[in-house]
Structure 1
Amino acid sequence: MAVTTVPTGAPARRVARDRHHRGASRWIVLAGVTLGALVMLVPFAFMLLNAFKSPGEYSSNGPLSWPSELYTQGLRTYWTQVDFPVKLWNSALIAGSVAVLGVAVSLLNAYALGIGRVRGRLWIVGLFLLANMLPQESLIYPLYYMAKQVGLYNTQLSVIIIFTVIQSAFGTYLLASVLGTFPRSLLEAAALDGAGKWTILWRVVFPNLRPSLAVLLIFFFIWTWNEFLIPLVMLIDNRTQTIPVALASLQGDRLMDAPTTNAGALISLVPAIVFFLIFQRTLARGITAGAEK
């Protein structure tokens, strides 16, 4: 009886070629991402280079020269003249409060819209989406006038309330979309066991949304920390200003030299980098959990 043999070399070679092709694509993508990261790091490299350069050396040799000595007077000048510990506390207080309150408000709104199925849900979610598209410049005068009328102008509380509403608009839109696809079987099983709406929220919905809420918390903190326009208008006193406003005001009012400004920018950037490094694993786990779902 004749035996027919099936050639196996061709499929093996094809699989090898496919793997090689995918490997080459990955290297190209990795090279592109690395190049983009290096380009983004160029401004930070210039900032670090000029932060330890004396004003005279900066004026004579320019911003691209290497410092001949480690000049730290700019760091000390910025630290003392802007009262950096107070600005650091103000920024941490505002950003931390907005992050926590924004996540809480987003969760409650999204629970009502995504799980509660209120009437006109799509229109309300669309309204939150529209609120995210409004530029802050269009909100400045109404917010300024309202803060003046209620006596909250030049207080951290006014900025906390404003950014809690702004950030929770995005959080509500995002979480409402997620909760719209939440498994109804889990909710029905909890309801059959006698759980009320609050119990379902904290015992069923909240544990499943914890990774997404952690990501929102980190984003809200960083976004609020970097805000400039609204704090610039709302906080006019030196004791209430945040780090970005203090840096810009110091540069404009007292005409500080470029090395001192770079030193101030370097100090102001360190807390945000430390916060990101601390919570980077939480951010990665949250994004991975969202992808798996």
Structure 2
Amino acid sequence: MTEEQYEHFDVGAFQRRVIAEFRANAGKVAMFGDEASLALVTTTGARSGLPRTVPLSYVDVKGQKVIVASAMGAPRNPAWYHNIRKNAMVTVETGTETFEAIAAIPAGPARDALFAEVVAIEPGFGEYQAKTTRPIPVVTLHRVDGGADRVRGMGDFVVEAHDWLRAELAELRRRAGEGEALIRTADLGRELRAHCLSFCGALKQHHHGEDAGAFPMLAARFPSLAPVLEKLAAEHVVVARAQERIRVLVEEYVPGESDPVRLREELDRLAAELEAHFAYEERSIVTALNALGPAPEIP
């Protein structure tokens, strides 16, 4: 399709006819044939914020549903692709089932490799690429529910790390609380330092791993998460400052001389900041992290 033809083609009317027939016939649309893999994908309008449903053919690549922003080789990316860049959550209808999914956008070599696999299955997409100078994007759809046999993902691993850190901080707070009742316990200072070293070191490593690894991967695959990732990175700086205050208090803590109330107050403040950070992170990026791949195996 030429640019002039694309400009005058009533895409909206065509899509409405296909959607109506799809829903009336359990996913079958005569013009695409019985063997076509067709889905209705509902995105959220990047400008309007309203649901936008489009019929799209998909390719199954090693069990992964992939949709292609070909627009039949038109010079511009289709609107649904821009919507996904703004909000990665979509609803997918296949005719036999409807499910929520998160849409990932591979870039660079990952995009090229996946597009090559798509073309090997459906050569028509290669013909569309030959008609346009833009690299045609490919988008992978990852079910949010997953079912009982869902593979434990990177997001699940992050939640497990958060729970371990929560438990370590709770123990540190408990030991600091004992400082008021056992203020002259000789071993209290050493115990506090040991717990602080374990917790603070693990939290620092966890945040470094996110800043250097997980967040760049998410930014590349999910452009819509950019504001969320910026906020989380900024919170890492705030938490690091709180950690440093606590480290100094613990290092200088002398049972019977230091003020246990101040230490406990600082720990309570860090706990509140950290819980808010963890909760926001779990709401915002765990689903996307799970879409990146399985959790690492820890020996």
Tell whether the structures are fold-level matches, with TM greater than 0.5. Answer: no
TM-score, normalised by the number of residues in structure 2: 0.28
TM-score, normalised by the number of residues in structure 1: 0.29
The structure richer in helix per residue is 1
Higher RCO by CA contacts (8 Å cutoff, separation 6 or greater): 1
The structure richer in strand per residue is 2
